[in-house]
Each structure stands twice: as structure tokens, then as C-alpha cells.
Structure 1
Amino acid sequence: MKKIPLPLLLSFNGGYVDTVGFLALGGLFTAHVTGNFVTLGASIALGTGGVLSKLLALPVFCVVVFASRIIGIVLSRSGRPVLRSLLLGKLVLLLAAFAVALIYGPFNDPNSPAAFAMGMVLVAAMAVQNGIHRAHLPKSPPSTLMTGTTTQIMLDLADIAAGGKSENTTVAYSRLKRMVLAVIIFALGCGAGALAYVLAPIWCFVVPAILAICAPLAQIETPEGD
């Protein structure tokens, strides 16, 4: 049986987690954290909840990326596997998020301590995922943000539409396939997250943990770097 490439699994998980987090936690982006600048302004202007979570999402994200990088360097220098260790760390965070959802969910008040804790744990998990992607899968499209990928798709389409058989168009064709697939998988993750939240607003949080369990078994096309 052919394995699913790790970047695609991460893209689906990124779309899924960002969607369920947004729906469950008062409009908090747990993966696309810079989007919280917009929702923070909306929360302040409209008097909606979750201001603290949106304010601290980016600092927490940055601290976790920094920490995961330091951990990866230490593991590498000691001869231990880096990528799989970080994937295990992300799994622990997603299991913790599921435990919080089971105990305290659903999160009807985005200002509650439980909702804040849930949001920061999910932000931390997605920070680890982002660090993994940048450090170990640099040739793959991002798994949590599709704006840059979509821009590149349109640039490649323009190069192809201009005609010719140059080396640039050959590269564009190859890159286009990977990026279109990444966007489709991310969108499917968003759709699955929305549906899961509607059907099971608490149990929907078990899916990211299950996907994280499957991650070490996925196909890894680029070296770990460790």
C-alpha cells in the first residue's frame, strides 16, 4: 500500500485544525496566526470575545517555534532523530488539546480560561508543525498558509500560458502539480473540520491527534537533516 506523503498529511491537518479552532474558540486562527491581527481588531471593534487568545497567539507561536528549533539542534548534535521526535511532540500537544476538549468543551465562552488554554495548546502544536515544515520539508508548499502557494500557482500558470518550452516552464509544470494538490488537500481539511465541528463539537478534536499518530508512518520525500 502506497504511503501518503507527509507534506499532504500536514496540509490536511493544518486546514482541519485552523477551521475547528476558528469555529470553537471565537474566531481564533490556531495555524494562520497572523490572521489573528484582523480578528483581534474585529473583536475590539465589535466587542466579541477571545481578545487575549488572539493577542497572545503570535508570541506563543514564536516562542514554540524557537524552542522546537533549539530542541532539534540539541537532538541533532546528540545523534538522535529530529523530525520524528518533533512529530511526537506535536502529537503530545494535540492529545492534550483533545483532553481539554473532553473535560471542558464545548467552549461557549471564548474568554474562559479553558478556551484560552485550548487555543494556546493548538497554537503550540501548529507552531511545531510549521517549524517541521520549514526545517525538514523546505521543498514542499507550506501546510498552514495558502496565500503564497496560490500566488505561485498563478505565476506558474502565467509562465505556462506565455508559451514556449523553456526550462522555466518545465519547472513551473512540476511545481504547479505539487502546489495545486497542496491547496486542494488543505481545502479538504478545512471542509472536514467544519463538518466535524457541526457533527461533534467536542470529538472533532480527536482527528488531529489521529493524523499526528499516522505522521511518522507517512512517506517522507526529503531527508530529515539529522
Structure 2
Amino acid sequence: MHKPQGSAAVAALLSFNGGFVDTAGFLGLAGLFTAHVTGNFVTLGAALVLGTHGIIGKILALPEFILVIALARVAGAALRARDLPALRVLLIGKVALLVAFFALAVGYGPFPDPDSPAALLTGFAGIAAMAVQNAVQRVHLSTLPPTTLMTGSTTQATLDAVDLLMGSDAAHSAQIRSRFGRLSLSIVYFAAGCAVAAVLYWLVGFWCLLLPVIVGILSTIIRTEAVPA
């Protein structure tokens, strides 16, 4: 399979954005995870037990995530059937959703009540953007390491590290070493996104969400240059 040029840069930018948007959403929207659904199950349980706010958004996050992924899948198939650049269009759509997330958060935030309509709409924009990124990752960029699911990546990277330390045949070791390197970088970039988001949110609040918009635009440009279609 042909490996497009710029794939490492795209993986780095998407991983950074995954960590950044997830952290910023968590800090500004009462513990709402925008990039993955597992955390919302945990925080929903905590909210129900402790009686804290943000319950509605956490309940609706999963069905919205599923719906957006399904729509992205259908849209991608329809675009490819018409010989249109599905990957490019979906990445641009994700950037548009990040712009909406940024504009709503800055325009209506901060949110003392995360269950208010404005807060819910803001969270839904962030979730939709990350759902599109997850769908694009699985369908169009499957050769790249996961950009939001760090549990699986950390597990595989640890297993690969142990296998490399234990030793194996040369061909197998080269494959493991390559995968370990890609996964490790993805984890580092995701962690960097989390750290930068935490610092910038503390300094400038929701204005920090301008950075993932810029990063999203860069990832779209790089991918556009790599895939002429």
C-alpha cells in the first residue's frame, strides 16, 4: 500500500489536536470529553453520585458521537462514488466544526451551568469535530497510529517495548521497532496537546481553542498536498 508523503506530520497534528480539544472541553464543560466516549461514562457516573452538573451533555455525547461517525461514513462513501476528494472534504468539515466549537465557546462561555442550551451546543460542536476525526482516522488514514485512543496505543507500545527487550528475529524486530516508534510519538504528541491546552486554558480560557483550529487547517493543507485528489 502506498504511504502518502506527510503522513507523519498529519499523525502528529491530529494527535496533538485530539489531546488539546479533549482537555479544553474537559476543563471548560464540566468534565465533558469530546474526543472519546469512555471517559464520559466515568464522569457521568460520578456526576450522578455526587449530584454535580453536566449530566445531560454526558448522556447525549455517545449517541451524538455515533450519529456523526455514521454521517461521516455515508458522506465519505457518497463523495468517493462521485470521484470527489472524500478525505479532503471531511478534514475541511472537521475544521469547520472546530471553528464552531471555538466561536460558541468564546461567544457564550464560560458556562456556570454546563447543562444550559449554549453549553450543550458548544459541547456538541466539539464532539462532532472529534467524531469526524475518529471516522477519518479509521477509514481514510488507517495506516496512521490512533490519534485519540491512547489506551490501546499505550498497551501496544508497552508490549512492543517488552518484545524488543526480549529479542526476536531481525525481520520481526524491525516491524515491531517501527510500530513502537509511531505509537510512542502519537502518545507524546497527544500528551503535549493535553499539556498545552491546560496551560493555555488557564491563561486565556476558551480563546485557547483557536490553536486547534490552526492545527486543523495545517493538517488539511498537508494532507491536500500529499493526496492530489
Which category of TM-score, normalised to the shorter sequence, fits these structures? over 0.9
Percent identity among equivalent residues? 49
Post-superposition CA distance 1:103-154 (Å, at most 9, x none): 2011222121111111111000000000011111112111111000010011
SS in 2 for 1:144: coil
Residue aligning to 1:89: 93
Match of 1:44 among 33, 41, 48: 48
C-alpha contact (below 8 Å) 1:136/1:222 kept by paired residues: no
CA RMSD of aligned residues (A): 1.9
Query: Offset of 1:222 from its aligned partner?
Result: 8.4
- Equivalent residue, structure 1, for 2:152: 148
- Indicate yes or no: 2:181 matched with 1:185: no
- Structure with the larger helix share: 2
Q: 2:88, 2:223 within 8 Å by CA — same for their partners in 1?
A: no
Query: Which deviates more, 167-176 or 74-83?
Result: 167-176
Q: Does 2:80 match 1:60?
A: no
In structure 1, what is the equivalent of residue 17 of structure 2? 13
CA distance in 1, matches of 2:16, 2:106: 23
1:134, 1:98 → 2: CA distance?
A: 25
Aligned position for 1:168:
172
Aligned to 1:215: 219
Q: CA deviation at 1:165?
A: 3.0
Are residue 28 (structure 1) and residue 44 (structure 2) matched? no
Matched residue, 1:117 = 121
Q: TM-score w.r.t. structure 1 length?
A: 0.94
Q: Which runs of 5+ in 1 are unaligned?
A: none
Q: CA deviation at 1:62?
A: 0.4
Query: Per-residue CA shift, 1:24-55, capped at 9, x if unaligned?
Result: 00000000222101100000000111101001
Count of residues in Structure 1 that have an aligned counterpart in Structure 2 = 224
TM-score, normalising length: structure 2: 0.92
C-alpha contact (below 8 Å) 1:16/1:189 kept by paired residues = yes
The one-letter code of the counterpart of 2:129 is A
What residue identity is the alignment partner of 2:124?
M
Which amino acid is the alignment partner of residue 83 of structure 1?
L
How far apart in 1 are the matches of 2:225 and 2:54? 39
Which of 193-202 and 98-107 deviates more? Answer: 98-107
Q: Is the 8 A contact 1:5 1:221 kept in 2?
A: no
Aligned runs of 1:102-141 on 2, under 5 Å?
102-141=106-145
